[in-house]
Amino acid sequence: MFSGLMMNTWIAASVVAVVAGMTGFFAVLRGSTFAAHAIPNGAFAGAAGAGLLGINVLWGLAVFAVGGALGIGALGRKARHDVVTALTLVLMLGLGALFVSVSSQYAEETYSLLFGEVFGVSKGEVLPIAVLGAAAAAAIGLAFRPLMLTSALPEVADAGGVSTRRTEVYFLVVMALATSMTVPVVGALLMFSLMIGPAAAARAVTARPGVAMALSVAIALATVWLSIALSYRTNWPLGFFVGVAGAVFYLAAHVRGLSPAEPPGTVRRHRDMKRIAAVALLVLAAAGCGGAGGGAPPEPAPTAQAGFAGYEWSVVAIGHDGKRTPIPARYSVYLQFAPDGRFGANDPVNYHFGSYRRTGDGFTIGDIASSLVGYAGADPVTLLAIGAISAFGKGAHATATVAGDRLTVTAGGYTLTCRRDGAQADFPPPTPT
Amino acid sequence: MTQEVTRPVSGQRATRQTAERAELLELRGIGVRLGGRQVLGDVTFAIRKGEFAGLIGPNGAGKTTLLRVILGLQEPSGGQVLVHGEPREKRGGRGKGNKSGIGYVPQKLVIDPDMPLRARDVVSLGLDGHRLGFAFPSRQRRELVDKALRDVGAEKYADARVGELSGGEQQRVLIAHALISRPRLLLLDEPLANLDLKSEQEIVAVLGRLVREHEISVLLSAHDMNPLLRVMDRIVYVANGKVATGSTDEVVTSEGLTRLYGHHVDVVRVRGRVLVVAGE
Amino acid sequence: MHYLLEPGLLASGPVRTALLTGAVVAIASGVIGVFAVTRGQSFAGHSLADVAAAGGAGAFLAGLNQFWGFLAAGIAAAGLMEAAGVQRRRGRDVATGVVLGAALGAAALFLYLGTLRTATTGAAFTVLFGSIFVIGPGTVPALVASGAVAVIAVCLLARVLLLASLSPDLARARGVNVRLVGALYLIALAISVSLAAVAIGAVLSTALLIGPAATALRVTRTPVRAMAGAAAIGLAATWLGIVLAYDSYYWPPRGHGWPVSFFVVALVLAGYLLSYARRPRRLAPRSPHEGAECSPA
């Protein structure tokens, strides 16, 4: 669980949790829950757009998130409840859907952008996330007192020369940066849970600001660690655990009955919440136990191999000579099987193009041609990938097994573990004229 | 030291009623428990036909609660509500709209400007807004609506969105809404609250005219009796969970209110206005 | 016009199905949306949509048609909301938002598990962003029937709903069972949300619910005109969206086409902005329970 690839996730997620906890504390205090909904939507569109344009997703996230934050800041409080803003938010999601559907990355991209991805953090992204995180944390730390003042006593702040408006914009931009970091890990739709859930839970337990913020960070870390561990164990999506954990912590905190000034009639509500929290905890426990039964990540039952045709498959690991090496995403090693029999394969240096024919247990390669770029380097992963792809020569036979969104291909002494990318369109083409 | 200048308040009808005229509305020994507390106890009073009664008392005294009991929205812990001498059916009669003959103008409606209802639509709902389906437009309906609007002086803005009317204008529309089903008793919950002085006077004038011309009774709640002094025939004063009823002169006295409140209260009359002041 | 109506548009079976179901969805959402906005229940609609997402994903996992999942989850959530009394937005954004996060998390899980089971990957997209072009002909009668039921129910309840929105006490004093009426309306809302989820996806469905209704309310004054207007605007946006999506197959990138839901949402927003050209902005401040506050996820 703590191997190289996962280590990136642990580090990034921890940074994300700390920032989310700090930002969320203020978001709850200032009642900026609307912004916490709105900014991730814009971020989703930005990330999808970046994917479409082929630039780094973090850029798209940051630009759209910050732009959205500035836009919300400019609109002012009242306008946030307007129909225009509500519809614009939905439009952001719609734009994201458009970008995702129009680019070649389709289903996987939608899913991981919206719900998060345990393996979503490549080594190249850990550093920017850590830097962004440090910057956001520093920004909040430096502005702690003005933020507190403008949240609790805005008029006093204004009178004292601390501009509420500027602080609001400042805070929204920080939230946008936090969003840009969080979305790749947790997904746009679940970001609200991570940011607001722990903070709201912390606030329900204590009213002292320093303690509340620390508790909010602690709960966020607990949420993220628990979710990563359970997600790794069960292969279930990270977003599921984050969403459920957020709700459970929140309900549990409110059930303690320490929230200030509850209106009358809350006794029954607390009892209902206790029941809901209990059920949710049971579900989580069952999930953990059920999934974890067996220790190692369970192998989903193999299904017919016909499922590999018509898709593109990213190679995530290559086994050779008894050793299994993970292949990070930036190496861009993939296989393509078009429904009409065309075959494509990419290694870090060359692209190979030919035809394939399905067989009972896999496929056979027909003709194949490739670009002729030489490689003189010594990077072991590159060399391994080149070797593996070269196994798909003319006439080569490979076995292929599909299990869910995982494909295992064995050819020429290499075993490639692949993850599905791309999908069919969701509507039929018109009848050709 | 208080100064009492006793001057008869004009507009008072003869209180000697003939014995055979049954009371329009009678409450006998009504008690109400809310949240474990006895909010009202042993409330007894009656409203006669064509009477203008004011339900007066400080905020929180239970005026709204009393009105809700009369309407069937609140179960009393004891006592009876009689309409025309008959015990009122439970819950105002399910689906029968206005069988009990009581029209209701509720308190402090916040109407969203988006509400797709013109003033005349609101009044039209007063006829049969509790029924399923759509109302079929008919000339008869339109005439009834127009008449109701005229009766309250709201014809000028009949086609305006009700959410965009001023407080006083909305109040008139709601009165027309209650009026259109020809009730015998009109119940209004704090109709004068949040109105400017001019609107206040206008509403009181409208109600007074309705009582005189249409012979309906009015029971309205207020925390300040002064705007009503000229038109009120009877006052029902609520305080400390108890009620005192009669003419204003009979009820609103220092001794009477001190008995009611349970602590010393002075009543000061200055130039036709009444002031109730808690003494020390 | 030639550029708008590409050849083969009306000859295509899926397009005809889409136009029919799109019409049902638009009319139901428009009519029911008018009441959602005036009763300040837009947030309830959004909450139902998020729970519906989990339901649709669950149906996918169970191998059933997504619509049944949307519907079952939506009605169950409506019942729960009624029981817990959270019908109106009362500053409970945080609580509901957090619980909705759990619903979306559940949707994520169901989608993942379903993808494992069936080895198809399109489900995430269709549950969240709609599947109007791939509605099986067998589902169409169910969609039309539920839409009809919801619309008829709301039309029957229209006057009572308006009266109850004006003042629940007033309605109760007239003998109306306000609680029952509210519950019935929530169920109609759940049905309408499920229909919209099928057409343009669970997370985008609120656009069809509040957009046309809010536009119609800006330009009409009576309930009947508002309902008719909302239905008409929704219908126009949906049909135009379908046509444009079909046309977009020929737009870059060729051979792929843009999603219907994007067009519908964009058109709904455009329609709302256009309504500002007709009627100048109100000077009076909006009242606290402005029904249009909501945001997906």
Residue A203 token pair:
């606030």
Query: What residues of chain C lie within 8 A of the CB of A111, using their CB?
Result: 108, 111-112, 124
Query: What residues of chain B lie within 8 A of the CB of C210, using their CB?
Result: none
Helix, strand or coil for residue A61?
helix
Please say whether the beta carbons of B168 and B199 come within 8 A: yes
Subunits in contact with chain B (3 or more CB pairs closer than 8 Å): C
Please say whether the beta carbons of B204 and B195 come within 8 A: no
Question: pLDDT exceeding 90 applies to what percent of chain C?
Answer: 39
Q: pLDDT, tens digit, for every residue of B83-94?
A: 877 777 654 444
Residue A384 token pair:
């391994």
What's the pTM?
A: 0.74
How far off is chain C from A189, nearest CA to CA, in Å? 6
Dump the DSSP string for A89-152. HHHHHHHHHHHHHHSS--HHHHHHHHH--TT---HHHHHHHHHHHHHHHHHHHHTHHHHHHHHH
CA distances from B12 to A251, B216, C120 (A): 61, 16, 84
Please say whether the beta carbons of B47 and B234 come within 8 A: yes
Helix, strand or coil for residue C283?
coil
**Average of per-residue pLDDT across A111-125:** 73
Q: How far apart are CA A347 and CA A16, in angstroms?
A: 32
Mean model confidence pLDDT for chain C:
83
Q: ipTM exceeding 0.95?
A: no
**Average of per-residue pLDDT across B62-81:** 89
Domains and CATH numbers, chain B: 22-101+183-280 (3.40.50.300), 109-181 (no CATH)
- Which segment of A223-227, A429-433, C177-181, C229-233 scores lowest on mean pLDDT? A429-433
Q: Across chain B, which distance is largest between two alpha carbons, in Å?
A: 65
Within A256-335, residue ranges assigned H as helices are 266-292
Report yes or no: C175 at the B interface, CB cutoff 8 Å. Answer: yes
Mutate to test the interface with C, among A28, A32, A75, A90 (most CBs of C within 10 A): A90
Mutate to test the interface with A, among C46, C125, C272, C290 (most CBs of A within 10 A): C125
Task: Specify the DSSP class assigned to residue A395.
Answer: T
Cα-to-chain-centroid distance, residue A429: 31
Query: What residues of chain A lie within 8 A of the CB of C249, using their CB?
Result: 429-430
- A83 to chain C: closest CA residue: C292
Q: pLDDT, tens digit, for every residue of C82-106?
A: 876 654 444 456 677 777 888 888 9
Q: How far apart are CA C111 and CA C57, in angstroms?
A: 5
- Please tell us whether the domain made up of A4-292 is placed in CATH 3.30.70.100: no
**Average of per-residue pLDDT across B175-187:** 90
Report yes or no: B188 at the C interface, CB cutoff 8 Å. Answer: no
Strand pairing partners for A351? A346
What are the E-state strand segments in A359-405? 362-370, 397-403
> What band does C8 get if pLDDT is binned at 50, 70 and 90?
low
Contacting A residues, span 76-105, partner chain C, CB-CB under 8 Å: 78, 80-91, 93-95, 97-98, 100-102
Q: pLDDT, tens digit, for every residue of C151-163?
A: 999 999 999 999 8
Asked whether the beta carbons of residue B133 and residue C288 sit closer than 8 angstroms, the reply is no
Q: How far apart are CA A150 and CA B129, in angstroms?
A: 48
Q: How far apart are CA C180 and CA C171, in angstroms?
A: 12
Three-state SS for chain B is CCCCCCCCCCCCCCCCCCCCCCCCEEEEEEEEEECCEEEEEEEEEEECCCCEEEEECCCCCCHHHHHHHHHCCCCCCEEEEEECCEECCHHHCCCCCCCCCEEEECCCCCCCCCCCCEHHHHHHHHHHCCCCCCCCCCHHHHHHHHHHHHHHCCHHHCCCEHHHCCHHHHHHHHHHHHHCCCCCEEEECCCCCCCCHHHHHHHHHHHHHHHHHHCCEEEEEECCCHHHCCCCCEEEEEECCEEEEECHHHHCCHHHHHHHHCCCEEEEEECCEEEEEECC
**Average of per-residue pLDDT across C265-288:** 70
- Going from N- to C-terminal start, the domains of chain A cover 4-292, 305-421
Find all residues with CB under 8 Å of C195, minimum gap 6, and list them.
C21, C24, C25, C28, C29, C67, C143, C146, C147, C150
Contacting A residues, span 160-219, partner chain C, CB-CB under 8 Å: 187-190, 192-193, 196-197, 200
Report yes or no: A272 at the C interface, CB cutoff 8 Å. Answer: yes
Mean model confidence pLDDT for chain A:
76
pLDDT at C37 over 80: yes
> What band does B21 get if pLDDT is binned at 50, 70 and 90?
low
Report yes or no: B146 at the C interface, CB cutoff 8 Å. Answer: no
Asked whether the beta carbons of residue C173 and residue B115 sit closer than 8 angstroms, the reply is no
Helix, strand or coil for residue C136?
coil
Please say whether the beta carbons of A183 and A47 come within 8 A: yes
Residue A272 token pair:
């209902």
pLDDT at C271 over 70: yes
Phi/psi-derived region of residue A119, left when phi > 0, alpha when psi is between -120 and 50, beta in every other case: alpha
> What band does B174 get if pLDDT is binned at 50, 70 and 90?
very high
**Average of per-residue pLDDT across A83-87:** 77
Report which residue type is found at A103.
S
* CATH code assigned to A305-421: 2.40.128.270
Please say whether the beta carbons of A21 and A198 come within 8 A: yes
> What band does C292 get if pLDDT is binned at 50, 70 and 90?
very low
- Which segment of A152-166, A252-266, A317-331, C160-174 scores lowest on mean pLDDT? A252-266
Phi then psi for residue B28, to 5 deg, are -120, 110
Closest CA to C54 of C208, C150, C194, C191: C194
**Average of per-residue pLDDT across A120-138:** 81
Query: The dihedral of CA A189, C118, A283, A269: what is its sign?
Result: positive
Parallel, antiparallel, or unpaired: how do β-strands A406-411 and A397-403 relate? antiparallel
Domains and CATH numbers, chain C: 13-278 (1.10.3470.10)
